[in-house]
Structure 1
């Protein structure tokens, strides 16, 4: 089994001698937040959290992705929250990129190492704590759950490094997907995957679809085609793609290009 190492944001501030130029861009089709702008002065403190700062990567805004919120959380030793979610209608997904995080969902407690993930259904009590002696960073994805009669979700724990990725058809394993939530269960109205491209691998057509995306680059670098623009991205960058944003990419090498991907699925369009 390959051991993956994910980018961990060092924060801080750049020196006064640095140029202002960066790759940050906001359009009505997509947003790119490069790792270089995730600095100390743009963090938030959240109610009910101790020893924690958050970079809020996505929130619903007019003209942008509207189905989810996504945060990069940084928790000091001894920090965490006994009640992370204030809204009982909202489900949560956590993915650890560095450190070790204790997660308890509906009374079940697990220690998550890098690559570890946990899904908390809406309305279920859960808590997170950094019991270690080093900071921990993790992605936290929140989505209002759309109930479906006769179906219900359950807590999920795991580590993406222990799941066999599924090759995408006709790609010779150069493009593969690690699915962390049940892909064939209609109870789940979002999927969270890790997508891997070998160097030179690509999405060979411009996807244009109803699903929104939150995309956090875990490893490597790539080039995205977004609504007619070419955008370079690297580990630590975040992309938010609204519904129907045309999208394609290829891995730039020399290592694999890997990212954490959110998308909304499995529900009727309500008019």
Structure 2
């Protein structure tokens, strides 16, 4: 089991004495959903899931981010689903934050622990259950798969944060690295889900401005993050949602590593259908 700790939603409700103002923002270019607003009254129940609720952090929105949905999921002991995915055209990535759920994928059982990463190809036969004594939490990213003529669909991936050596970025003295669960040159994949790590003082030293949409769930630490024209303070458990071309940069400002789970759409021509085309099926 990983020795790391991964942030998960606090749930519950704050006391009446707590101040109302928080860091939540929604703009035409980005959204920040702080962990402090991930409370009981904003959860969703999901069809065919038992003893389960989800904070839906992102969903396709025309004119904003259109390629993916992202959830923080809580599964109580005895909970889970035999029919987790309603759309056979949708692929998934799971990252376990807390607890020990069990994944069944194409008839094979896989015990998961905090730090486990799973890529589930579209159309897979999969189930997830929590037979442990503790509540399980995981991030769930869903995206309609975009097949390409002449390329086979990718197979499933089951990995772990501790089993993949982070790949340092060039010219950064090792303070900025990415944990890659799949080969970035494998064009069968149309999305990448990675863990990005900054050591204290590490930076993205330029304003990234690019076509990929992002979901960033902060697993650990704190940082100042540039989002469009603003610098915002983010910390473990926060979620950032970026539309295409939103400028972004980062300065790891805490005493320990700053780590986040990163989604981006990759390896495909942009759709020429306004409104996202097939990706609206999410």
The verdict on a shared fold, with TM-score over 0.5 as the criterion, is yes
| Unmatched tracts of structure 2, length 5 or more | 273-282
1:121-170 C-alpha deviation (Å, 9 max, x unpaired): 01111110001010000000000000012221101101011110000000
Q: Is the 8 A contact 2:2 2:113 kept in 1?
A: no
Q: How many angstroms apart in 1 are the aligned matches of 2:40 and 2:2?
A: 33
For residues 102 and 263 of structure 2, the distance between their equivalents in structure 1, rounded to whole angstroms, comes to 22
Residue 223 (structure 1) aligns with = 224
Q: Name the residue aligned to 2:197.
A: 196
User: Does the 8 Å contact 2:50/2:81 carry over to 1?
Assistant: yes
CA–CA distance in structure 1, aligned partners of residues 127 and 150 of structure 2? 27
Q: Secondary structure at the match of 2:172?
A: coil
Size of the aligned set, in residue pairs, is: 271
Match in the other structure for 1:15: 15
- Aligned structure 1 segments of 4 or more residues deviating by more than 4 angstroms: none
Q: State how far apart, in whole Å, the 2-side matches of 1:124 and 1:197 are.
A: 34
Q: How does 1:157-168 map to 2 (within 5 A)?
A: 157-168=158-169
CA contact (8 A) 1:29 1:63 kept: no
Segments of 5+ residues of structure 1 without an aligned counterpart are none
Separation in 1 of the partners of 2:183 and 2:90?
18
**Residues 102 and 112 in structure 1, CA contact (< 8 A), matched pair in contact too:** yes
8 Å contact 1:80–1:129 — kept in the other structure? yes
**In the alignment, does 2:182 pair up with 1:181?**
yes
What RMSD in Å do the two structures reach over aligned CA positions? 1.2
1:214–1:261 contact (8 Å) kept in structure 2: yes
Asked if the contact 2:118–2:159 (Cα under 8 Å) also holds between the matched residues in 1, the reply is yes
TM superposition shift of 1:7: 1.2
Answer whether contact 2:2 2:114 (CA < 8 A) is retained: no
- Say if 2:125 is the partner of 1:140: no
Aligned position for 2:241 = 240
Distance 1:107 1:255 in 2: 40
